[in-house]
Amino acid sequence: MAQSEKTNVSLSRTIRSVSFMSNYLASIILFLLVILVSAHVIGRYFIALPVPGAVELIQYLMVCVGSLGFAYCAAQQEHVRVELFVERLPRKFGGVLKLISLLLSLGIVALITWQSIVYAIDVWHVGLVSGVLKIPRFPFTVVLVISYVLFTAELIIQVFEPASRALKGGNR
């Protein structure tokens, strides 16, 4: 195995490990979110004492839960796909359509990544905070940026892995 191939494999494993950890972190945050929502509902409707700022915390934590699993979902290829049309095509065309789909996804996700970075910089300079608890928005924006960077990296891996195999002449 050439040095560049070892580096690619190592980088791929690293990105996938970080993706797995981010998904695990999303699971932990989701568990905490369930506890927060439950406490807020019980407090509000049963003892007339809601959790102060719960809505803000829920909004911020949902950004984390919703975005931290992107790259892991892509790595596991568990995202939603409609294969009704593709299943009826010959395998060769299916592979071409998959590559086109990956390239389109990569382009769109790269644009979203870029704009989330621009947005994070704006949030940092403006110093946006939540209305009630005055929680800075920037850390949650950084989580979003990291999530999209990982997602973009995973899509890059998925685009170039088949091409790398094809160049070597294998189909592993």
pLDDT at 171: 46
Q: Which residue has the tokens 């909004």?
A: 59
| 165, 172 Cβ separation under 8 angstroms | yes
Domain residue limits, the chain: 3-168
Q: Is the pLDDT of residue 159 over 70?
A: yes
What tokens does 73 get? Answer: 């979902």
Give 17's Cβ-side CA count (13 Å radius). 6
Structure confidence at residue 143 as a pLDDT band (50, 70, 90): very high
Report how far residue 107's alpha carbon sits from residue 152's, in angstroms, rounded to the nearest whole number. 9
Rounded to whole angstroms, the Cα distance separating 29 from 35 reads 10
What is the pTM (predicted TM-score) of this model? 0.82
Residue 6 has a pLDDT of: 67
Q: Which two tokens stand for residue 169?
A: 């002449």
pLDDT of residue 172: 42
Q: Which residues have a Cβ under 8 Å from the Cβ of 79 and sit 6 or more positions away?
A: 73
Q: Using CA atoms, how far apart are residues 62 and 132, in angstroms rounded to an integer?
A: 17
Average pLDDT, the chain: 86
- Which of 42-51, 138-147, 159-168 has the lowest average pLDDT? 159-168
Q: Read off the tokens for 9.
A: 């494999």
